[in-house]
Amino acid sequence: MWSGRQRQRWIRDGSYAAPVPIGGTMEAGAVGEVIASNSPHFKPGDFAFGMLGWASHGCLPAKELRKLDPAQGPITAALGVLGMPGFTGWPGLTAYGRPEAGETLVVAAATGPVGSMVGQLAKAKGLRGSAFNPFGYHAEARLHRDLLDWYEAAMTKVARAYGADRHDTCADILAAPMEIRGYGPVRMEAAAKVRQEVDQQLGQL
């Protein structure tokens, strides 16, 4: 499972989450089948959800796992509609927003797991979508295309120049996109700053 939140795990400073060390397991929610257990609450063959990370095998205390029932739906639904996105989006829309059929709903960051879930729930409730564009979507789309071209060229130079004595500089360049956060003007300003810093580092390779 990958989400915008996972990007925070790469940021070394200024994030709510501790960065993943080199060689460490990328943290993430995951579902899996129990193959061994010392807990009376789980037995081999059970399915569970927990913060198992990106790994083929994981081990957590039983209290940190949620048992899944395949009869209720695909176990992967615990990563979506029957997981954090659904548990956040459903009460947010129905308990707090409480829109009525026929009303217009505007969802910020509707491309994320929670926002996209709310969009699907809204459609099912007979709500209208909105062309509201508070964060300059088209300008950001152009920015993203430009950044992809720029970053591809940067990665080509990094690949050619990489060496043990340049590891730290190359690692900083690889992580640069994770520093481009926010929306609209904030994101554009961050992108300009990061590009300037990376271009200076590329000049050192």
Q: Per-residue pLDDT tens for 91-149?
A: 988 899 898 888 888 887 666 788 888 888 888 888 877 655 554 556 767 777 888 88
Instruction: Look at residue 1 and tell me whether its pLDDT is greater than 60.
Output: no
Name which of 89, 39, 93, 92 is nearest 66 in CA terms. 39
CA angle 151, 154, 156 (to 5 degrees): 115
% of the chain exceeding 70 in pLDDT: 83
pLDDT band at 16 (very low <50, low <70, confident <90, very high): low
pLDDT band at 175 (very low <50, low <70, confident <90, very high): confident
**Three-state secondary structure call for residue 12:** coil
Taking only Cα atoms into account, the Rg of the chain, rounded to an integer number of angstroms, comes to: 21
Average pLDDT for residues 15-41, to the nearest whole number?
Answer: 85
pLDDT band at 3 (very low <50, low <70, confident <90, very high): very low
Determine the Cα–Cα distance for residues 51 and 31; give it in Å rounded to an integer.
9
Average pLDDT for residues 56-66, to the nearest whole number?
Answer: 94
**Model confidence, pTM:** 0.55
